[in-house]
Amino acid sequence: MIELKLPIDQIKVGDLIRVRPGEKIPVDGAIIEGESAIDESMVTGESMPVGKHKGDTVIGATMNKSGSFVYKATKVGKETMLSQIIKLVEEAQGSKAPIQRLADIISSYFVPIVIMLAISTFVGWYVFGPAGGLVLAMLNSIAVLIIACPCAMGLATPTAIMVGTGIGAEHGVLIKDAESLETAHKVKTIVFDKTGTLTKGKPEVTNLVILNEVKDLDDEVVVKKQKNATLDSSVVSLPQNDLLRIVASVEKNSEHPLGEAIVKKTEEEKLSLRKVEGFRSITGKGVEGIVNGKKVYVGKTLDSHPTGVQAQKLLNQGKTVVYVYVDEKLVGLIAIADTIKESAKEAVQILRDLGIEIFMITGDNKQTAEAIGKQLGIKKENVLAEVLPEEKEKKVKELKSKIQDLKSKIAFVGDGINDAPALAAADVGIAMGSGTDVAIDAAGITLVNKNLMSVVSTIQLSKQTMKTIKFNLFWAFAYNIVLIPVAMMGWISPILASGAMAISSISVVTNSLFLKKAKI
């Protein structure tokens, strides 16, 4: 392979690019060789470097902190994530919020009224003023026109929107339009999709249970009797390692997602696999193979065996239980689950503290859904289980119809193609940055950093932005209401009026910039 140094504009999709420690990643792509820790803070707002391995995606313009790797370019030029972020922010900053339209309507009436007041001022001073009233009439009427220039009114909303969308982008929250930013603070109900949103979307081994002793699988006792032993997979002792190794050796030949989770766990533990003979996949049941002369079966419980107390306990937690048999003797259990994201529970709790009703929607069975909901602190009656993909939009509309307060809004947070109709149906659609392009296109807000605390940040940012806009508008109106009569009475000259007008505009812009110091 010949390596060349090329300008970034000459990189094409499909090119292989080597990135060394301390270098910036030029374009978006997927790692095909090596691993590293990458600082993605400029895009996601996360301060900690993110570990990247073979198959993981990398984002252009982020910084490679340690490790050298080769990746394949998948998006270049205007198609990269950074370019799309810049485009979205520019579009959002150029869009108008509903409250801006109110200001525009008021301005459309305000301008002719001011012109009439200026004419009245001129006539009043010219007719009823002292001798030589023409000059005074001209000066005072001009002062009225200058002091009433609606610059502050016009700047009140767009300056705050521009700062707000910029702050959002810095924290990994992409706001596509000003209306979404304004509406977010009115949200009183949020519906979360489960898979890939509240959970990681990938099954992981969570528990290993050792039940019986088995000899001669690897010329040693690989599974020792441990009654009532349910160990978290993060603390794996020798017997658990051996059970995991045996099961993964058989599952290595399977393409089932649960089997992939078991194999992935052995890779994380850096365990070597055993030779398997006579592998067979039993449709709807599991897989089996011969390991060191012993028949190993991994899958659903055999008809002749009861479920068992420990297995039932794991099932009640919403986990999928894989049964391990050696020569038709049950020796262990492996629990697999789509684990909850680290930020999910905290985000749900804070949102509830803010007075927001939380719902979870999923196609999973009721038992699994309620177990996940319980872990997250979501009310049992707010867990919507066994919902088909095409029914999600219908459920969102039903919840909207039940909201009695017309000012209250509903938001939907999702990531999949099947979430797109629901994202569009909600008053505020929030898509996870790790989701599909269809979902991201249907949503008004995208969370690039995949952190659910960003949902909280979005609502708090909306509240702070609207607070700033309302203060700006109040200042603009109060300024005109107080100083227009002063100008009509001749107490302020055109020069002072122009200074006051400039100060009012500067104060509005400065107040909008203070939004950067707000905690979100």
Q: Which residues, 6 or more positions from 217, have their beta carbon under 8 angstroms from its beta carbon?
A: 223, 242, 246, 274, 291, 292, 294, 296, 326
* 322 contacts 331 by C-beta, under 8 angstroms: no
Using CA atoms, how far apart are residues 33 and 29, in angstroms rounded to an integer? 12
Nearest to 317 by CA among 342, 335, 343, 332: 335
Beta partners for residue 58, in sequence order: 29
Quickly list H helices, 53-97: 81-94
Continuous segment of H or E residues that includes residue 209: strand 199-210
Residues present in the chain in total: 520
Cα three-residue angle 141-147-148, rounded to 5 degrees: 90
Using CA atoms, how far apart are residues 161 and 154, in angstroms rounded to an integer? 12
Q: 91, exposed or middle or buried, with CB in 10 Å at 0-12, 13-18, 19+?
A: middle
Q: How far, CA to CA in Å, does 107 sit from each of 28, 52, 68, 151, 467? A: 46, 53, 58, 10, 20
- In the set 28, 177, 193, 338, the catalytic residue is 193
Q: What is the CB neighbour count within 10 angstroms for residue 14?
A: 10
Q: How far, CA to CA in Å, does 76 sit from each of 63, 188, 325? A: 17, 40, 51
* 218 belongs to the catalytic site: no
Q: How far, CA to CA in Å, does 451 sit from each of 199, 207, 346, 371? A: 11, 25, 11, 22
Quickly list H helices, 177-252: 178-183, 238-251
Q: Residue 330 carries which side chain, given as an amino acid letter? A: L
**Letter string b/e over residues 385-412, b meaning 16 or more CB atoms within 10 A of that residue's CB:** bebeeebbbebbeebeeeeeeeeebbbb
Structure tokens belonging to residue 124: 């009043």
Nearest to 515 by CA among 155, 163, 156: 163
Beta partners for residue 447, in sequence order: 173, 432
Q: What is the CB neighbour count within 10 angstroms for residue 89?
A: 18
Using CA atoms, how far apart are residues 491 and 366, in angstroms rounded to an integer? 74
Using CA atoms, how far apart are residues 504 and 478, in angstroms rounded to an integer? 10
Residues assigned a catalytic role: 193
